Amino acid sequence: MGTLEHILDEMTYATTHIADIVRKEKAKGRIIVACMPVHTAEELVYASGAFPVGAWGAEKMMISRASEYLPPYACSVVQSITELGAIGAYDNLDAAVVSCLCDTLKCLTQNFLSTNPNVKMIAIKYPQNHKLEGAVRYLMDELFGIKNKLEELTGKSITDTAIYKSIEIYNENRKEMMTFVKHLSKKPGLLTNRQRHTVIKSRYFMDKAYHTGLMKSLNTELAAMATPAFNGIRVYAAGIMIEPQEILDVLDELDYAIVYDELAHETRQFYHPVPDGVDQIERLARQFQTYEGNPLIYDPFKKRAEMIASGAKENNADAVLYVQLKFCDPDEYDYPWVRKAVNEAGLPIMNLEIEQSMQSVEPVRTRLQAFAEQLTSRL
| Residues lying near other proteins in the complex (CB under 8 A) | 68-71, 73-74, 100-104, 106-107, 109-111, 113-114, 123, 125, 127-129, 132-135, 137-138, 141-142, 145, 295, 298-302, 324, 326-327, 329-330, 332-337, 339, 351
Q: Which CB sits closer to other proteins, 222 or 264?
A: 264
Q: Which CB sits closer to other proteins, 41 or 218?
A: 41
Is-contact 177 203, C-beta < 8 A?
Answer: yes
Distance from the first to the final alpha carbon of the chain: 38
Q: Which CB sits closer to other proteins, 279 or 329?
A: 329
Q: Which CB sits closer to other proteins, 182 or 302?
A: 302
Amino acid at 263: L
Q: Which CB sits closer to other proteins, 111 or 171?
A: 111
Q: CA–CA separation, 189 vs 168, rounded Å?
A: 32
Q: Which CB sits closer to other proteins, 103 or 362?
A: 103
Q: How far is CA 22 from CA 26, 77, 207, 321, in A?
A: 6, 20, 12, 34
Q: CA–CA separation, 338 vs 352, rounded Å?
A: 14
Q: CA–CA separation, 144 vs 326, rounded Å?
A: 35
Distance in Å, CB of 373 to other proteins, minimum: 22
Distance in Å, CB of 146 to other proteins, minimum: 12
Q: CA–CA separation, 48 vs 37, rounded Å?
A: 20
Distance in Å, CB of 100 to other proteins, minimum: 5
Q: Which CB sits closer to other proteins, 5 or 329?
A: 329
Q: CA–CA separation, 367 vs 123, rounded Å?
A: 38
Distance in Å, CB of 80 to other proteins, minimum: 14
Distance in Å, CB of 231 to other proteins, minimum: 31
Distance in Å, CB of 344 to other proteins, minimum: 13
Q: Which run of H or E residues covers position 324?
A: strand 319-325
Q: CA–CA separation, 308 vs 42, rounded Å?
A: 26
- Distance from chain centroid for Cα 359: 22
Is-contact 193 248, C-beta < 8 A?
Answer: yes
DSSP state of 282: H
Residue 235: is the preceding peptide bond cis (ω within 30°)?
Answer: no
Distance in Å, CB of 121 to other proteins, minimum: 8
Q: Which CB sits closer to other proteins, 111 or 357?
A: 111
Helix (H, G, I), strand (E, B) or coil at 53: strand
Q: How far is CA 291 from CA 91, 105, 142, 190, 298, in A?
A: 33, 19, 18, 30, 10
Instruction: Find the angle CA(235)-CA(238)-CA(243) to the nearest 5 degrees.
Output: 90
Q: CA–CA separation, 361 vs 8, rounded Å?
A: 24
Distance in Å, CB of 193 to other proteins, minimum: 26
Q: Which CB sits closer to other proteins, 77 or 162?
A: 77
Distance in Å, CB of 334 to other proteins, minimum: 7
Q: Which CB sits closer to other proteins, 167 or 296?
A: 296
Distance in Å, CB of 7 to other proteins, minimum: 39
- Start-end of H helices in 74-132: 76-86, 103-115
Is-contact 242 126, C-beta < 8 A?
Answer: no
